[in-house]
Amino acid sequence: MFDEKKESLILGTVIAVSLSKKHTFSKENQETIKLVKGLGVEGDAHFGSTVKHRSRVAQNPNQPNLRQVHLIQNELFEELTDRFNIKPGQLGENITTVGINLLELPTDTILSIGESAIIKVTGLRNPCTQIDNFKPGLLKAVLDKDSDGNLIRKAGIMGVILQSGEVKPGDTIRTELPHRPFKKLERV
């Protein structure tokens, strides 16, 4: 539960960190990753101030990179375990978390991780058909509909780096909610 005065609370833990120097679907687990202010994960193919995702580069390579770091909650892997065996990093995330419902955070939530890294949440990851190339049927499994028929994307959240720092498994994730009214996460 959030502290109503601060609207901040220690909610989660990092269980894995991953990166890939190339534009591969999955990322390799690391002992530590370095988040660099305004750029992303050092050594990752998506590192930079402008967009690095190929489809977005094709549209406009000068767009700001609002997808510098990708986080997924391990609870998604547990939810899918009866149909898919997914390990941290395999869905392309840089940070795998436990104990925090990332999908319920509002846009502009601040995540402080470890000793100094700070991430600002920009939106939801929009899973594409590459996910079915990894495991057939997985795209449908990470998309859902609410009671009103609205699409629910469960493939994690994206963010930008506000303050540099190293992140490793076991690091604590603390949240600071933005000012009200909260803005629901949208795909970014």
Q: What percent of the chain has pLDDT over 90?
A: 85
- Kindly tell me if the per-residue pLDDT of 10 is higher than 80: no
- Which single residue is written with the structure tokens 């795998």? 96
Give the residue-averaged pLDDT of 48-69: 89
Which residue from 47, 50, 39, 40 is spatially nearest to 23, judged by alpha carbons? 47
Can you give the residue ranges of every domain in the chain?
8-176
Q: Assign residue 79 a region: left if phi > 0, alpha if psi is -120 to 50, beta otherwise?
A: alpha
pTM for this model (two decimals): 0.93
User: What pLDDT is attached to residue 55?
Assistant: 80
Question: What integer best gives the mean pLDDT of the chain?
Answer: 93
pLDDT in tens, 62-95: 999 999 999 999 999 999 999 999 999 999 999 9
Alpha-helical (H) ranges within 41-157 are: 54-59, 74-80, 130-134, 138-141
Question: Under the phi-then-psi rule, with left for phi > 0, alpha for psi from -120 to 50, and beta for the rest, what region is 40?
Answer: left
Residue 48 pLDDT exceeds 50:
yes
Q: What is the DSSP letter of 8?
A: E
Phi, psi of 102 (to 5 degrees): -60, -35
| CATH code matching the domain that covers 8-176, chosen among 2.40.33.20, 3.40.50.720, 3.30.70.20, 3.40.50.300 | 2.40.33.20
Q: 181 preceded by cis ω (within 30°)? A: yes
